[in-house]
Structure formats: structure tokens, C-alpha cells
Amino acid sequence: MLSLTACGGGGGKGADDGKGKGGTQQAERQSTAAVTITPKSGATGVDTSGALKVDVAKGKLTEVTVKDAKGEKIDGTITGSGASWTPSSHLAAATKYTVHAVAKDSDGRAAAEDSTFTTLTPKNTFLGDFTPEDGSTVGVGMPFSVNFTRGITDPKAVEKAIKITTQPAVDVEGHWFGNDRLDFRPEKYWKEGTKVTVDLDLDGVEGRAGVYGEQHKTVKFTIGRNQVSVVDAAKHTMKVTQDGKVVKTIPVTTGKPGYATWNGQMVISERLAVTRMNGETVGYGGEYDIKDVPHAMRLTTSGTFLHGNYWGGDAFGNYNASHGCVGLSDVRGGYDKSTPAAWMFNHSIIGDVVIVKNSHDHTVAPDNGLNGWNMSWADWTK
């Protein structure tokens, strides 16, 4: 018993000494880096911009991983020589996120922190109606145009959320028309065969106070062959060029005196095999109402078309007789594929360019249709 007691007593003293030494070693192994994640874990109704941040005291961040509920990572940047991390873009609305952050102190010892939070669910939202459609093949003049359902008061935030990449690479810049339309284009017409990818990441973007975007789409389209047609209103002709070579010259009629056709570069934005044209819709009262205009292709929002004309008599190639449109000879019903209008319709796609010159009118406004090519690059990029 004495032996056991003595052995036990000796063990107790040794344990005390070991405990003190072990505690010191444990403290020495613990990192002094202190990681802080904002917002706090469990937070709800978090703003989609400016709220997420990771900071560290007495150390440097080495890893920050932020994921949404689907496991998609959110890109970000470590700044301040490792002192903080912020996301590179806004967050999506009504989404749960997880954050994992690691930092090291001056001795290389790591400290980690984890957090979860949920972003706000907006009461007011906006959408962007865009053209061209995903998967389409378009002409060399086609911009990527977005019309917003609400007026935008933070254009920088919205523009930042729309990323455009091309193959081959080309600089593509955006231009605002008012506060509800944003168009993107390169300096010159697209190169044929270019593949364009648009990441329309509006979900969670606060476009105006309390109004958030609610869509995230990827849109891809391809630039087709290079077709540009030049209408000479004085000579009453249209030369159709492909890859810079004239492939067809077509007699036309343009706007008569008092109704001259716009000059300038216009982009085909709509193709209609047959449509009704009523003068009342464009401010011309009851001057005309043609219920079956064949082979019609829209050039402006205000009502300028390149279209078939079966009532024009001998005007084509001889004199200007229209109310501002560019007319090509056709037959009623558009059944004859050999007519100039039918040929033009069947050889055109959305995004092709039609240039009008020598008309007795001003140059078409850049926002009257998809016609931003009538702005200089310097004005476009202001």
C-alpha cells in the first residue's frame, strides 16, 4: 500500500508538471490569426451587394470559398496584402450561401472560420428583354440589345452584370439609350463566323432603389455571312454585297417628296412573310391601309421597312413613290419566288445591314431600331 501510495503521489506531481508544459505547447501551436466573416452566420435578408466581406486580424487570408446552394462558387479577390476578401460581383437574391475562410499568422499557423447566410427576397423586380435569341445566326450588324422593364438608375451595376465574350476576341462596348435600353456592339461590323456568348447575370442586381433583377441567362449566337446592301435613293437602285462583292443590283423605289426615306445604316430587326401596313400607326392618317404587304423586313422602330410592293407600277428603278419605305417589285400574295422582293427576303437574315444614301432626309437616329452604327465609336463609348 505504501508503495502504491508513493507511486501514486509521485505520478500526481509529474502530471501537474506535464499539464503545465502541455498547455504551453498547445498555446504555442494555436494561430493568432482571427478571421471575421460579415454578415454573421445565420443572417437572413442580406443585401446582394456590399454586405459580404471576410477580414483577418494578425494574419493573412490564404483561402476564401463561397458557394451557393447549388455548389456554384462565387469569385472574389483578396486585397490589402491578405487582410480582406470581397466578391467580384453581386450575389443572387433569395439564395443561401456558405463561406469557408482560412488565414495564417506570421508563424504560418492556420485559423479557419465558417458561416452561412441567406440573401434578401426582393418585393420589386425587373427583367431584361433581349435580342437576338439564344442559338440564332445573325447578320454582321446585329447588336446585343436589352430593354429593361423598369427604368435603371444604377447603370454601372447593370452593365457590370452583363459580360460578353467572343471568339475570335473583339472589344465589345455598351451604350445606354435612355434609362431602359442598353445595346452592345464592336467598333466595326462583326467578322463573319464570330461566336458570341453573353452572360446576362441580372439576378440580385439592384437596378434602382429597392428594385432587383430576377434573371440569369446565358445567350449564345453566331455571326453569319457578311451581307450589306446599299440603297441609292437618287439612282433608285439597291446593290446587295456579300463579303464586299456585289451579288445583285435591284431596282427600288424609296420615299417620295415629303416622305423621304431616312439616310444611314439600318439593321434588319424583323422578317415578316406578309404583314398589314396602316398609315395611322405611323402618323400618316388614312393615307394607306394595305392588309397583305409581302416580304417585309423592318429597318426602324418608327415603321421603315424594306418590303415587297405589288401596287407600285413602273416606279421601281425610275422614281420614288413610297411613304418612306424601300419598295421592291413583287406580286400580291408573294407566291412568285422569282421576284426581286422574294429574292431579297430569302437571302436576308436578322442583323443584315441596309444602308440608304442620297435621300432628302436626315440620318436615322441611333435608337430608332437597332441602328447604333450611326454613332461614332467615340460617342458610343462615352
Name the percent of the chain lying above pLDDT 70. Answer: 90
49: pLDDT strictly greater than 90: yes
Residue range 333-367, pLDDT digits in tens? 999 999 999 999 999 999 999 999 999 999 999 99
How far is the C-alpha of 61 from the C-alpha of 112, rounded, in Å? 10
307, 323, 347, 362: which one is catalytic?
307
Which residue ranges form the domains of the chain, and what is each CATH number? 34-119 (2.60.40.3780), 124-223 (2.60.40.3710), 227-380 (2.40.440.10)
307 noted as active-site residue: yes
Percent of the chain with pLDDT over 90: 88
Q: Which of 90, 175, 323, 325 is catalytic?
A: 325
Long-range contacts of 197-200 (CB under 8 A, 24+ apart): 197/164, 197/165, 197/166, 198/130, 198/144, 198/162, 198/163, 198/164, 199/162, 199/163, 199/164, 199/165, 200/128, 200/130, 200/146, 200/161, 200/162
* Backbone conformation region of residue 92, classed left if phi is above 0, alpha if psi is from -120 to 50, else beta: beta
Count of CB atoms situated within 10 Å of the CB of 12: 8
Q: What is the pLDDT of residue 297?
A: 98
Looking at this protein, which amino acid is placed at residue 208?
R
Provide φ and ψ at 367, rounded to 5°.
-95, 5
pLDDT at 82 > cutoff 50: yes
* 39 upstream amide cis, omega within 30 of 0: yes
Span 287-296, average pLDDT: 86
The backbone torsions φ and ψ at residue 197, rounded to the nearest 5 degrees and listed phi first, read: -125, 125
Taking the C-alpha atoms of residue 79 and residue 96, their distance in angstroms, rounded to an integer, is 25
Work out the pLDDT band at 13, boundaries 50, 70, 90. Answer: very low
138 — pLDDT class (breaks 50, 70, 90): very high
pLDDT tens digits for 203-220? Answer: 999 999 999 999 999 999
- Is 7 an active-site residue? no
Beta bridge partners of 320: none
Query: Per mean pLDDT, which range of 9-18, 157-166, 172-181 is the poorest?
Result: 9-18
SS3 9: helix
Continuous H helices in 100-163: 155-160
Sheet holding 76-79: strands in order across?
34-38, 53-57, 84-87, 76-79
